[in-house]
Chain A
Amino acid sequence: DIVMTQSPDSLALSLGERATINCKSSQSVLNSSNNKNYLAWYQQKPGQPPKVVIYWASTRESGVPDRFSGSGSGTDFTLTISSLQAEDVAVYYCQQYYSTPLLTFGGGTKVEI
C-alpha cells in the first residue's frame, strides 16, 4: 500500500496568515504517461463530511476560494491557504489515487485559529 504521511499534525495561526500543510507519499504518485499527480486534498469541518478542495495535486474544485492552492510532484505535496479565514478551520487530508482502486489517506492536519 502507498502510505501517506502528513505534517504537521496540527497548526494554529492567526487570521490572514499563510497555512502550509505537507503530504509525503511512500512512492511516487506521478503517472509518467499523462504527467499527472494522482493526489487530492479534502477539507473536513467539525461535524461535516469531507469535501474535496484540490485534485490532480493542483486543480482547485469548483467553488473553492482561490486562497487554496496545491503544489508538488512525485512524492512531496503541499496545500497552501494563502490568507487564513475563520471558515477555514478544519482538518485537511491528502489522498492518493495512483493505486486506484486502492486509495489511501493521510492522517490529517488540524488547522486552528
Chain B
Amino acid sequence: QVQLVQSGAEVKKPGASVKVSCKASGYTFSNHGMGWVRQAPGQGLEWMGWINNYNGDTNYAQKFHDRVTITTDTSTRTVYMELRTLRYDDTAVYYCARGSSWSTPYYMDAWGKGTTVTVSS
C-alpha cells in the first residue's frame, strides 16, 4: 500500500532553516510528483509547491518561492522540503502529498501524517 513517512517534529529559532523529509513506498516513485501543503494551528490548508519525480522540475507558490526548496532523491525515494528564514508564523504542520499524476499536480491522492514545525525563540 502507498505510504508516505515524514520526519519528526522540529523546533527552530526565528531566522533558522528546517528541512523535512518524506519517504515514499508502495508505488512507482517516478509516476507521481510530490507536493507540500502546510496547515497553521486551527487554520486551513496552504499549497507550498511541487516536484516532478520523473524529471526533477519544481514549482513553488509565489508566497514561498524565495524561501522554499523542494528536492528529490530517487535512489532513496525521499522528497525533501527546506524552508529558510523561518518566522513565527511558519509554525504549522507540514504535509507531503502524492500527486495523482507524474506531470503536474492535480489532486493529492495520498498524504503523509504531517511534521510539526514550531518556530520559537
Please measure, in the bound complex, the distance between the C-alpha atom of A102 and the C-alpha atom of B35, giving whole angstroms: 11
From A16-24, A46-54, A81-89, give the one contacting chain B. Answer: A46-54
B-chain residues with CB within 8 Å of residue A49 when the two chains form the complex: 95, 97, 111-114
Closest approach, in angstroms, between the C-beta of B81 and any C-beta of chain A?
15
Q: With the chains together, A61 CA to B97 CA distance in Å? A: 16
CB contacts (< 8 Å) of A1 on chain B: these are: 62
- Would you call B61 an interface residue if the criterion is a C-beta within 8 Å of the partner chain's C-beta atoms? yes
Stretch of B23-31, B41-49, B82-90 on the interface side = B41-49
Interface residues of A in 5-53 (CB under 8 A from B): 38, 40, 42, 44, 48-52
B104 within 8 A of A: yes
Contact assessment for A105 and B47 in the assembled complex, using a CB-CB cutoff below 8 Å:
yes
A77 to chain B, nearest CB (A): 13
Decide: A105 near B46, CB < 8 A? Known: A95-B107, A100-B106.
yes
Closest residue of B by beta carbon distance from A108: B44
Which B residues are CB-close (under 8 A) to A105? 37, 44-47
Q: Is the interface of A mostly helix, strand, loop or mixed?
A: loop
Q: A103: which of B35, B62, B109, B113 is its contact (CB, 8 Å)? A: B35
Compute how far the CA of A52 lies from the CA of B104 in the bound complex, rounded to whole angstroms: 17
Residue of B nearest to A55 (CB): B107
* B91 CB → nearest A CB, Å: 17
Shortest Cβ distance from residue A51 to the other chain B in the assembled complex, whole angstroms? 7
Most buried by B among A44, A50, A108: A50
Shortest CB-to-CB span from A9 to chain B, Å, is 11
A103:B95 contact, CB within 8 angstroms = no
On B, residues with C-beta under 8 Å from A are 35, 37, 44-47, 50, 59, 61-62, 95, 97, 100, 104-109, 111-114
Binding site for B on A (CB under 8 A): 1, 38, 40, 42, 44, 48-52, 55, 61, 93, 95, 97, 100-108
Q: Which 7 A-B pairs have the closest CB atoms?
A: A40-B107, A49-B111, A101-B59, A105-B45, A103-B47, A55-B107, A97-B106
A-B contact pairs, 14 of them (CB 8 A): A40-B107, A48-B113, A49-B111, A50-B37, A55-B107, A93-B44, A95-B108, A100-B104, A101-B50, A101-B59, A102-B59, A102-B61, A103-B105, A108-B45
